[in-house]
Structure 1
Amino acid sequence: MSLNRFIEAQQRDYETALQEVKQGKKINHWMWYIFPQIHSLGESYYAKYYALKSIEETIEYLNNDYLYNNIILICEALLEINHSDVEKIFSDIDAIKLRSSMTLFNYVTEYYPNQINKTNHIVFQQVLNKFFCGQEDELTLEIIYKERDNFQF
C-alpha cells in the first residue's frame, strides 16, 4: 500500500491538527493519519486503512520528507504544551493511539537507525516521557516483536 494515503490526508488536515495540538485540544478526526499505529490494533475502517502495515512501511514513512517533517513538528508542538495530562488534549482512546504511535516510531528509530535517513529521533521518546512516564504501549510492542522476527534488510 502506498504512503499516498497519508500524504493526501495530511495535505488536507495537517494544519488543522497542528493548530489543535498547539491550542491544547483535539477537536476534529485526524488521529489515524497524523499519528499512525502499527497494523492489528484498530477495528474501524480508518484504523485499518491508515495502519502502518510493517516495520518496512514505518521506515518508508519516516524516510518520506513530508511525513517525517510533519510528525516531528507536531510532536514538538506536543512537547511545548505546559502540562503533561494527555487526556486534556486527546480523548482517552486517542491518548492510547498517541502512545501506540510514539512506541512504534521510537522503536523503529532506535533499532533501525541505519535504515532511516533522518536524525531527530529523540522526539518520540520525549513524548512518551512527558505524557506516559516513558512507558511504551505493550500491545504495539507485541506486534512489533512478531513483525521483527520476519523482517530483514
Structure 2
Amino acid sequence: MSKEILKIKGKTPEEIFGKPDDLKLKSCMTLFSLLANTNHVFNQVLVKYFHGVQDAKTIELLHREQ
C-alpha cells in the first residue's frame, strides 16, 4: 500500500483518505519507519506528504512504553 500511495500525484493525505485517516497514515508511517531494518518506503511517504516530519504523538507514546 505504501508504494501505491507514493504514486499518487497532486493530492494531500486528507484528499486521499479523509479525516482522521490522514492522521492515521502519518502515525503508521512514523511507527513503521522507526522499526529496525525497515523498508525505506515508510520514510518516503513521510517526506512526500508530511515534509519528512514524524508524528510527535506516536513518538511520545513509544517513549512512554519504554
Q: Counterpart of 1:135 in 2: which secondary structure?
A: coil
* Percentage identity across paired residues of the two chains: 38
Tell me the equivalent position of 1:79: 6
**Structure 2: how far apart are the matches of 1:137 and 1:125?**
12
- Pick one of 25, 32, 53 that aligns with 1:105: 32
Task: Give the aligned residue type for 1:126.
Answer: Q
Structure 1 Cα separation of the partners of residues 7 and 61 of structure 2: 30
Per-residue deviation, 1:146: 2.1
Does the aligned pair in 2 maintain the 1:86–1:131 contact within 8 Å? yes
Unaligned runs of 5+ in 2: none
Structure 2: distance between partners of 1:83 and 1:134: 17
Flag the structure with more relative contact order, 1 or 2, with Cα contacts below 8 A and sequence separation at least 6.
2
Offset from partner CA, 1:121-151 (integer Å, 9 cap, x none): 110000001111111110100111122x2xx
Q: Is the CA contact 1:84–1:130 (under 8 Å) kept in the aligned structure 2? A: no
In our comparison, the structure showing a higher alpha carbon Rg is: 1
**Could you say which residue in structure 1 is the equivalent of 2:39?**
121
Q: Report the Cα distance in structure 1 between the residues aligned to 2:29 and 2:51, rounded to whole angstroms.
A: 13
Q: Give secondary structure in 2 for the equivalent of 1:92.
A: coil
Work out the CA distance in 2 between the residues paired with 1:128 and 1:105: 11
| Large movers: runs of 4+ above 2 Å | none
**Could you tell me which residue of structure 1 aligns to residue 22 of structure 2?**
95
Counterpart of 1:134 (choices 45, 49, 52) is 52
Superposed displacement of residue 84, structure 1 = 4.4
Distance in 2 (CA, whole Å) between partners of 1:82 and 1:88 is 11
